[in-house]
Structure 1
Amino acid sequence: MKAFCFDVFGTVVDWRTGVAREASEFFSRHQLAGIDPYDFADAWRNLYQPAMEACRSGKRPFTRLDILHRENLEIVLRKYDVNPDKLDDDALAQLNSAWHRLDPWPDVVTGLTQLKRNHIIAPASNGNIALMVNMAKRAGIPWDAILGAEVTQAYKPSPPAYTRMVEILGFEPQEVCMVAAHNNDLHAARQCGLATAFVARKSEHGVHQTTDLEPSEDWDFVVRDFNELADRVLSSN
């Protein structure tokens, strides 16, 4: 194994808490009462896959995630009877960039730092380059490279999202391990010949989460967190 590539939203960072935190500040600043920030974060995230599917299916050209997030933000605001046209554009841009300021799970930086000693580590995210760079700089995430949809021009789980990433790294598929908290992401990576590692994030969707609580297949690694992944990988070298 020469490289480990990581899903980011949910696997590396706690998107729900971070988006809810910034939404709460936005609502307070604009005196928008009665909107639960966690419900708002969930509603915004629920538009994530449909927006990317339009690109995957060819209904629209590849469009970077910051733009899709902004379009979805305006849709969600209207669902909560908030007219985005009556809000300051800079304030909307600041809320949209909440995805750039998400906090990593507690084990992430220490685990990645260990893994980085002998392996290449990079995001394999649907997030665009600016988003990934800003997130990493703020949180101290020690990536060796920034990979993902804007580099491969493909959104997971489309096969090119994995195969082009492997090609860019200059490795064979079996030399790259996809790490994710989502079984469908790992299934798609495995279909492309990559190794796989499952890390459960049982509170990604809150305390009532029902999905991805356990591995659905016999992934190459099944671990509690990034520290355990690093320990197992380094001990096998």
Structure 2
Amino acid sequence: MSDIRVLAFDVFGTVVDWHASIRAEVAQLLPQVDANAFALAWRDGYQPAMDKVNAGTLGWTLIDDLHRMILDEVLRRFGVTTLGEAQIRHLNKAWHRLAPWPDAVQGLTRLKTKFTICTLSNGNLGLLSNMAKHAALPWDCILSAEVFHRYKPDPATYLGVAKIFDLRPEQVMMVAAHHSDLDAARACGLNTAYIERPLEFGSTRTKDVADNGANGYHAKDIEALASMLGV
């Protein structure tokens, strides 16, 4: 562990509370719909859309554009016909305005004193930059699937972090609230740390955050991880 140089963070769900943020914006703009169900439906389209890109059935497409494709379908499904184009565009950019979990900024700030901290997110660069500004996230570097033109869990993303920093894979630690993300990173030789986010999908779809025994670290939140890493 003394040789870890870079902590690469998943962002959606790990660092920011996408569900509460999206639900709040939907509730404000569309009080007639079930904002919780709408937020979950929007997010449920996320992985299938990226899988199409990685499989080559859809050309390289930014998350902003994938979010818009999914949003258009969700609006139809929920029978929403009252929004103009400017309102839909504003709602689609809600993913740029996600609020951090209460421990995130302080935890990242602590970790930054010992490690280089960066994103490794499927969000595009513009989205992640706007989010960092909005949420005061103190990244040293913003890395995105956009840099590699592959979405996680493609190995090119995890190995790409090590290549950019001229490190061996084991000198990078992937930090995420999703076991599938960490499994893929570990298969590429990265160290891993799991962050518990039982309410990532809200109170109606709670997650099992029990330790699966596969990860190097298992922490309640980012501040707890900082303590584990001696910061």
- In the superposition, the TM-score normalised over structure 1's length comes to 0.93
Mapped partners of 1:9, 1:219: distance in 2: 19
What is residue 64 of structure 1 aligned with on the other side? 62
What is residue 34 of structure 2 aligned with on the other side? 36
What letter is aligned with 1:129? L
Q: What is the count of residue pairs matched by the alignment?
A: 228
What letter is aligned with 2:114? N
User: Which deviates further from its counterpart, 218-227 or 107-116?
Assistant: 218-227
1:175 aligns with 2:171: yes
What SS does the aligned partner of 2:141 have?
coil
What is residue 27 of structure 1 aligned with on the other side? 30
What is residue 18 of structure 2 aligned with on the other side? 15
Mapped partners of 2:206, 2:224: distance in 1: 24
What is residue 77 of structure 2 aligned with on the other side? 79
- In the superposition, the TM-score normalised over structure 2's length comes to 0.95
Mapped partners of 2:204, 2:73: distance in 1: 25
Which consecutive segments of 4 or more residues in structure 1 shift more than 6 A? none
- 1:145-156 alignment runs, 5 A limit: 145-156=141-152
Mapped partners of 1:113, 1:62: distance in 2: 33
What letter is aligned with 2:38? F
What SS does the aligned partner of 1:73 have?
helix
* Identical columns (%): 44
Is contact 1:8–1:123 with CA below 8 Å preserved after alignment? yes
Is contact 2:199–2:206 with CA below 8 Å preserved after alignment? no
What SS does the aligned partner of 1:234 have?
coil
- Per-residue Cα deviation, 1:149-192 (whole angstroms, up to 9, x for no partner): 11121111111111112211221100000001111110000000
Deviation at residue 216 of structure 1 after TM alignment:
2.3
What is residue 5 of structure 2 aligned with on the other side? 2
Q: Which residue among 214, 224, 231 is the counterpart of 1:228?
A: 224
Is contact 1:181–1:212 with CA below 8 Å preserved after alignment? no
What letter is aligned with 1:67? D
Is contact 2:197–2:207 with CA below 8 Å preserved after alignment? no
- Per-residue Cα deviation, 1:108-142 (whole angstroms, up to 9, x for no partner): 00110010012110111100001101111011100
What SS does the aligned partner of 1:209 have?
coil
Mapped partners of 1:14, 1:3: distance in 2: 23
- 1:171-210 alignment runs, 5 A limit: 171-210=167-206
What SS does the aligned partner of 2:48 have?
helix
- Tell me, which stretches of 5 or more residues in structure 2 are unaligned? none
Deviation at residue 212 of structure 1 after TM alignment:
4.3
Is contact 1:5–1:178 with CA below 8 Å preserved after alignment? yes
RMSD (Å) for aligned C-alpha atoms: 1.3
Deviation at residue 68 of structure 1 after TM alignment:
0.3
What SS does the aligned partner of 1:5 have?
strand
- 1:23-172 alignment runs, 5 A limit: 23-28=26-31, 33=32, 35-83=33-81, 87-172=83-168
User: Which deviates further from its counterpart, 225-234 or 5-14?
Assistant: 225-234
- The structure-2 alpha-carbon separation of the partners of 1:149 and 1:101, relative to structure 1 and needing over 3 Å to count, comes to same
